[in-house]
Each structure stands twice: as structure tokens, then as C-alpha cells.
């Protein structure tokens, strides 16, 4: 019996690891399409031979291009607000949900904190989180390393850089979990390429709140960010880089992260 429990537990752990490395094409943003369907402005989708083979041949790389176009479209639409409740303008990317509405944080410099945050060495942090920690060579070793919420997030903090305070929050990239919510004007959001993957460049200070494992916002984490933010991710780790950075500087830092 003990033997059975042993191999089974091992096999289950291996299957979970495989699950995190599976190739899953990126999902399209459906908020607009679903809304149009519900408002009766667009016909229903049909499955089957009409679309199937063509889409199959095009593959998901074409779908990705379509997604990029859709994302751009979404941003453009938001740039001309129609006075509708702004809550509809929600965009999710790499564990971060961007929302165009006033957020819960009001004051910069409030002593915001992530749940259970603990400072430690980079080496110890590497042993405590399940994802590889990316360290940007352009900035060198971080002045401070903080692990929060039982290893769900690691933050690298650089206090003295040419750009002032720079902060990287990193978390597992393979899950479709929600880790942060940002409250922004989506007109300030542009798509960029980081190390040949997709990234988002968000200009200007934003209100940021941490979303716990059970999906609720952690009130104590709400704060106004400084400067601009770059968000990107690999299938293993997602990163948000924050600081008083130009876009070029942020991309250079991101490119140097290994």
C-alpha cells in the first residue's frame, strides 16, 4: 500500500509539472465579442467545417496576430470614452488585470504591503518560490528581496539606480491566476515586444492592488505606483517592472533579465 501511495504521489506531481509546461495558444480577448452577442449586435458563432479547416491551417499564430489587433482595437475604443460605466474596460495580461476605473488606493507613499511579506537573501528566495526568479543584469544584484504570500510573489527592490527606486514583482507565469489589479486609463497602455514575447507598457502612475489566492483584493496592498510599468512574462514567470523609467530603459532592463 505504502508503495502504491509513493509512486502515485510522484506520478501526480509529475503530471502537474507537465501541466505547467503544456503549450496552450494565447486566448483571444472576448469581452467585446461576448458583449456584442449579448446585446444582439453580432450573430452567434458556428462550429464545424465552415471555419474549422481554414482556422486549422492558419494555426494559432495567425490567431495571435488577430488577438494583437483586437487588443489594439480595445485600446482605441477606450481612448474615446462613450460615457458608459468604465468598469467594462477590463483587460487581462500575464496575471495582471488592467481596469479603467478609480481604484482603491488614493495616496502615494502609504505604507502598502503584500500579505506575509518577508525580506531575505536572493538565494533563500530562490528556494522558496516555485518559479525561476529573473534578475536584470542591467541593474545588478537587488538591494532588497522580499517574498510574499507564502512564495506566491517575489519582489526585487533597487533603491539606488540611475532611475531612482525600481521594483520588480515576479510570480508564476504559467497559471491564469490573477495576481494584481491595476487601475489605469487604457489609453496609456501600449503593446511591446520583450525578448520576443508580448509585453505591455503602461505609462504614468497607477493604482495597484494585490489579489490574493482566493481572488479577493488585499486592501493593505493598495498603493499608487511610481513612474511607469512594463509587464511581460514567459511560460514560467511573469514580471511587472516599475520605476521612473523611459520605455527604452525599461525594455533594456527587461532584455537583460535572466
Partner 1 sequence: MRSVIDDGEAVARARGGDLDAYAVLVARYTLRAHRAAFLLGAAEEADDVVQEAFVKAFRHLSRFRVGESFGPWLLRIVANETRNVTRSRRRRAALALRLCAAEPGGVAADGPVDKVLAAERQARLLAAVNTLPDNERQVLVCRYFLELSEAETAQVLAWPLGSVKSRTSRALNRLRGLLVPGEQSRVSHG
Distance CA 164, CA 54 (A): 51
Residue 220 is a binding residue for partner 1 (CB under 8 A) = no
What backbone torsions phi and psi does residue 245 show, to the nearest 5 degrees?
Answer: -110, 150
- DSSP E strands: which ranges in 143-216? 144-148, 153-158, 166-172, 180-183, 189-194, 197-202, 207-211
Distance CA 155, CA 8 (A): 35
Here's the x/- map for partner 1, 169-208, by CB under 8 A: it reads as -------x-x--x-------------xxx-----------
Selected from 60, 115, 138, 190, the binder of partner 1 by CB under 8 A is: 60
CB atoms within 10 A of CB 168: 24
Selected from 77, 113, 132, 163, the binder of partner 1 by CB under 8 A is: 132
Selected from 189, 237, 245, 251, the binder of partner 1 by CB under 8 A is: 237
Least Å from the CB of residue 238 to partner 1: 12
Residue with cell 480577448: 29
Residue 69 is a binding residue for partner 1 (CB under 8 A) = no
Nearer to partner 1, 1 or 85 (CB): 85
Nearer to partner 1, 170 or 227 (CB): 170
Nearer to partner 1, 27 or 69 (CB): 27
Residue with cell 534578475: 135
Residue 102 is a binding residue for partner 1 (CB under 8 A) = yes
Q: Which of 249, 85, 45, 257 is nearest to 168 (CA)?
A: 257
User: Which residues from 140-169 bind partner 1, rule CB under 8 A?
Assistant: none
Only segment of 75-83, 144-152, 184-192, 235-243 that touches partner 1 (CB under 8 A)? 235-243
Residue 48 is a binding residue for partner 1 (CB under 8 A) = yes
Residue 5 is a binding residue for partner 1 (CB under 8 A) = no
Distance CA 37, CA 150 (A): 41
Distance CA 242, CA 227 (A): 7
Least Å from the CB of residue 14 to partner 1: 6
Amino acid at each position: 500500500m505504502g508503495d502504491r501511495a509513493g509512486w502515485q504521489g510522484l506520478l501526480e506531481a509529475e503530471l502537474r509539472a507537465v501541466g505547467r509546461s503544456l503549450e496552450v495558444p494565447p486566448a483571444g480577448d472576448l469581452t467585446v465579442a461576448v458583449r456584442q452577442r449579448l446585446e444582439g449586435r453580432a450573430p452567434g458563432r458556428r462550429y464545424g467545417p465552415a471555419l474549422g479547416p481554414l482556422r486549422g491551417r492558419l494555426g494559432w499564430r495567425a490567431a495571435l496576430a488577430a488577438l494583437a489587433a483586437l487588443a489594439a482595437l480595445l485600446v482605441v475604443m477606450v481612448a474615446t470614452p462613450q460615457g458608459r460605466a468604465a468598469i467594462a474596460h477590463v483587460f487581462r495580461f500575464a496575471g495582471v488585470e488592467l481596469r479603467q476605473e478609480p481604484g482603491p488606493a488614493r495616496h502615494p507613499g502609504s505604507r502598502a504591503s503584500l500579505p506575509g511579506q518577508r525580506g531575505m537573501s536572493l538565494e533563500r528566495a530562490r528556494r522558496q518560490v516555485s518559479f525561476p526568479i529573473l534578475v536584470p543584469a542591467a541593474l545588478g544584484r537587488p538591494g532588497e528581496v522580499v517574498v510574499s504570500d507564502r512564495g506566491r510573489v517575489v519582489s526585487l527592490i533597487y533603491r539606488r539606480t540611475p532611475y531612482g527606486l525600481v521594483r520588480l514583482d515576479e510570480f508564476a507565469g504559467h497559471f491564469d491566476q490573477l495576481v494584481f489589479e491595476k487601475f489605469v486609463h487604457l489609453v496609456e497602455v501600449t503593446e511591446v515586444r520583450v525578448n520576443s514575447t508580448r509585453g505591455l507598457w503602461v505609462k504614468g502612475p497607477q493604482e495597484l492592488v494585490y489579489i490574493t489566492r482566493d481572488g479577493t483584493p488585499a486592501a493593505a496592498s493598495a498603493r499608487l505606483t511610481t513612474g511607469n510599468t512594463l509587464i511581460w512574462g514567459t511560460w514560467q514567470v511573469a514580471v511587472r517592472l516599475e520605476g521612473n523609467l523611459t520605455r527604452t530603459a525599461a525594455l533594456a532592463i527587461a532584455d537583460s533579465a535572466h
